[in-house]
Structure 1
Amino acid sequence: MTILIIAEHDGAALKPSTLNTVAAAAKIGGDIHVLVAGSDCAGAASSAAAVAGVAKVLVADAAHLSSQSAENLAAVVVACVQGDSACTHVLAPATPFGKNVLPRAAALLDSSQISDVVAIETPDTFVRPFYAGNAVARVKSSDKVKVLSVRTTAFDPAATTGGGATVQATSAGADLGLCELLGREVVKLERPELTAASIIVSGGRGLGSAEKFREVLEPMADKLGAALGASRAAVDAGYAPNDYQVGQTGKIVAPQLYVAVGISGAIQHLAGMKDSKVIVAINKDPDAPIFQVADYGLVADLFAVVPELTGAV
């Protein structure tokens, strides 16, 4: 039994989401192979080879894979699976990267994708949430090749050292020419990235404006060394950029501390942060749904108490 993981990387190193996916694969059992596809990705391949539990790293290095388009990358994945008769599982993180590539690979493999896996019971039985995380389904797959996207917050990351995997080149295939990358904008954040942050301070529509969002939350985030997040309502209102959005339609996070300021707690927002280790909610509405999941709740005017809390840190 062989498990193929599609690595998310930037060429030089693996993204943390890949380490969580390796940890999920370890619970299935069998040999773990990691596919590193891209252009000039030797650094990422070396990082993958050092990860504990990885048996082999397959490297597909070609210019036409530099954009890691779903069309070209899915073809490489299928070729790897078909070239290894023992391959029984294909895994990728349930991030925008994985959600882009995995469905196409699943279709080409004639497999039914199982999305957002949060637990692995047996090699063919998996647990995934639905109804915005309010219920879970136990899914048993009879597909020859099981295709899974892994919710990274449900698995502790594999160790980045201790592994000694072999590194092997694999065919990058031909450029299918089905799409062309015209440009890419990389957002550079001065704060920790949301999905990797141990502390997150998030704001909602209760802050009233983009100016108040920055004025109230940034000092607290600076004091705590935290990432900034936002509810969908705050993003839609223009208080914060899309990169800040936490929730079912944003980023799924599980930090050590999540501070929700002026967030009512809509179902789609709770689905993205309720696995946080400690949740602190500040809202003037005592009946706000956010208090149902909060470990600590403060019913108060956020414009008065947040600066006071910040000053006390």
Structure 2
Amino acid sequence: MSRKVLVLGEVRDGGLRNISLEAIAAGKTVAEGGEVVGVLLGENVSDCANEMIVYGADRVIIVENEKLKTYTSDAFSQAFLKVVETEKPEGMIMGHTALGKDLSPKLASKLKSGLVSDAVNVEVLGGNLVFTRPIYSGKAFEKKIITDGVIFATIRSNNIPALTKDESRTGVVSSVDVDIKDLRTIIKEIVRKTNEGIDLSEAKVVVAGGRGVKSEDGFKTLKELADLLGGAVGASRGACDADYCDYSLQIGQTGKVVTPDLYIACGISGAIQHVAGMSNSKVIVAINKDPEATIFNVADYGIVGDLFEVVPLLIEEFSAVKQ
């Protein structure tokens, strides 16, 4: 059956996040031939509307308000619920990002709907719309079928490929005015602690360090390799606890969950809490001088050696290839 599906577009630093393009692709599957409507909330976000259309959205609704300049669940939920009230969709999709994880349960509660969170795949099987999501820290997967009510899901980054960009696509872009009031939270200042560059949760290549990196200076070498490969730097909790890097880089059960095309683990033992955050990476390369390190059990390729010798060699080889 065809459906109208709302897809929330996330804007960061004036650009549309890649997870939003992946959400459009998921929305197309959920719509089953119906209409995919992009939704942009914020201040001065209209420039991103055409990008949503060329990547598959049929039309885009914009809600611009100074109170949406920075994210708060109160303001964004009021704005999104107004669009829901106007459009009456049969489905809603957004990224399983920090914003999506905070906003989606609040919306589900307000709408009295179910929620499939952190989906890694959506497909039509036997006439049913089936969502696949990881459970037990990624050790198993479950399939969910929504039989009643609005279909509402968040999707994990780097799992559902974005549709091919089509510059010939056109669609209507409209605006909705929302009276946002009774805010309990006001953001006065945002202090960014993460390094400039590619978002860790969306990176196609992640170079991660553990306690074996030994120091903050050790992470500079990892960053050099990550920059060379067009990727981002991550870390285990042990490295964060040791003050080698900021907690914003932490990957694992109590940190970020990443699914890059290539994950290079440097000096990481492979504790189950860390593995929970990266085990679904497409290719895992482990570098550790301990041949019995647990990380080798989940790695596709293992290098037994001192990371301070191996990583510079990798940098040298990749640099030579790129010249």
The two structures have a TM-score, normalised by structure 2, of 0.88
> 5+ unaligned residues in a row in structure 1: which ranges?
none
CA distance in 2 between counterparts of 1:8 and 1:60 reads: 13
Corresponding residue of 1:36: 40
CA contact 1:4–1:35 (8 Å) conserved in 2: yes
1:80-99 alignment to 2 at 5 Å? Answer: 80-85=83-88, 87-99=89-101
State the secondary structure of the residue aligned to 2:61.
strand
CA distance in 2 between counterparts of 1:40 and 1:312 reads: 44
Superposed displacement of residue 11, structure 1: 6.9
Corresponding residue of 1:2: 4
CA contact 2:7–2:23 (8 Å) conserved in 1: yes
1:123-202 alignment to 2 at 5 Å? Answer: 124-162=129-167, 163-187=169-193, 189-202=195-208
CA distance in 1 between counterparts of 2:96 and 2:84 reads: 20
State the secondary structure of the residue aligned to 2:240.
helix
Q: Does 1:260 align with 2:262?
A: no
303-312 or 205-214, which moves further after superposition?
A: 303-312
The size of the alignment, in residue pairs, is 310
Q: Does 1:274 align with 2:279?
A: yes
Equivalent position to 1:63, from 61, 66, 79: 66
State the secondary structure of the residue aligned to 1:59.
strand
CA contact 2:78–2:180 (8 Å) conserved in 1: no
2:160 maps to amino acid: F
Q: Does 1:290 align with 2:295?
A: yes
CA distance in 2 between counterparts of 1:148 and 1:303 reads: 43
CA contact 1:64–1:175 (8 Å) conserved in 2: no
Equivalent position to 1:107, from 102, 106, 109: 109
CA distance in 2 between counterparts of 1:11 and 1:272 reads: 26
The two structures have a TM-score, normalised by structure 1, of 0.90
Equivalent position to 1:208, from 199, 214, 218: 214
194-203 or 226-235, which moves further after superposition?
A: 194-203
1:88 maps to amino acid: E
Backbone CA RMSD of aligned residues: 2.2
- After superposition, the Cα gap between the structure-2 partners of 1:186 and 1:49, relative to the gap in structure 1 and judged at 3 Å, is farther
State the secondary structure of the residue aligned to 2:15.
coil
- After superposition, the Cα gap between the structure-2 partners of 1:308 and 1:41, relative to the gap in structure 1 and judged at 3 Å, is closer
CA distance in 1 between counterparts of 2:266 and 2:314 reads: 12
CA distance in 1 between counterparts of 2:229 and 2:87 reads: 48
